[in-house]
C-alpha cells in the first residue's frame, strides 16, 4: 500500500469515528459522501502543510524521537458510555520511556452527559495516579 492510500485510510477511519460521535452525542447523521469528502480534504491539507518539510535539505530521513524527560509520564484516559448499565472509565499511564506502569478500568452505575463523563474519567484517573 502506498503512502497516499495509507493516509486516506487513516483519514477515513478518523472521519468515520467523528461521524459516529456526532450521531451518538449530537444526534446528527453525517452522510457517507460528506465523510469521504472530509477524509480527502484532511489528507490534502496534511500533504500541503508537510510538503515543505520534504524539501528541506537539513532534515534527516529517519528523525530520532526523543524520550520524555525523566519524571514525566503520559496518561491516556478514556470513557465509554453503556446506556443501560452506566459508564466505564479506562486509564493507561506510561513512564518517560513509554513503558506502561499503570492500567486500570472502572464501571459506575451513572447516567450522565458525555462531557461530564469525560470530566469524571479525567478526575478518576488523576486520583488513581495521585493515590
Over residues 26-50, the pLDDT tens digits come to 899 989 888 888 888 888 888 877 7
pLDDT at residue 57 tops 60: no
Region class of 27: left (phi > 0), else alpha (psi between -120 and 50), else beta: left
Please write the tens of the pLDDT for every residue from 1-28. 778 888 888 888 888 888 888 888 889 9
pLDDT at 67 over 60: no
**CA-CA distance, 44 to 49, in Å (whole number)?**
9
Domain spans in the chain, listed from the N-terminal domain onward = 3-55, 74-130
- pTM of structure: 0.44
Q: pLDDT tens across 73-114, in order?
A: 677 777 665 656 778 888 888 877 778 888 888 888 877 777
Amino acid at each position: 500500500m502506498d503512502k497516499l492510500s495509507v493516509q486516506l485510510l487513516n483519514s477515513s477511519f478518523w472521519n468515520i469515528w467523528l461521524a459516529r460521535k456526532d450521531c451518538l452525542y449530537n444526534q446528527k447523521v453525517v452522510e457517507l459522501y460528506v465523510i469521504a469528502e472530509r477524509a480527502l480534504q484532511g489528507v490534502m491539507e496534511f500533504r500541503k502543510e508537510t510538503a515543505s518539510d520534504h524539501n528541506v535539505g537539513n532534515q534527516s530521513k529517519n528523525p530520532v524521537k526523543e524520550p520524555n524527560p525523566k519524571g514525566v509520564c503520559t496518561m491516556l484516559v478514556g470513557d465509554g458510555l453503556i446506556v443501560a448499565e452506566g459508564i466505564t472509565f479506562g486509564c493507561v499511564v506510561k513512564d518517560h520511556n513509554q513503558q506502561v506502569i499503570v492500567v486500570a478500568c472502572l464501571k459506575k452505575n451513572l447516567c450522565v452527559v458525555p462531557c461530564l463523563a469525560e470530566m469524571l474519567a479525567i478526575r478518576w484517573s488523576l486520583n488513581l495516579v495521585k493515590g
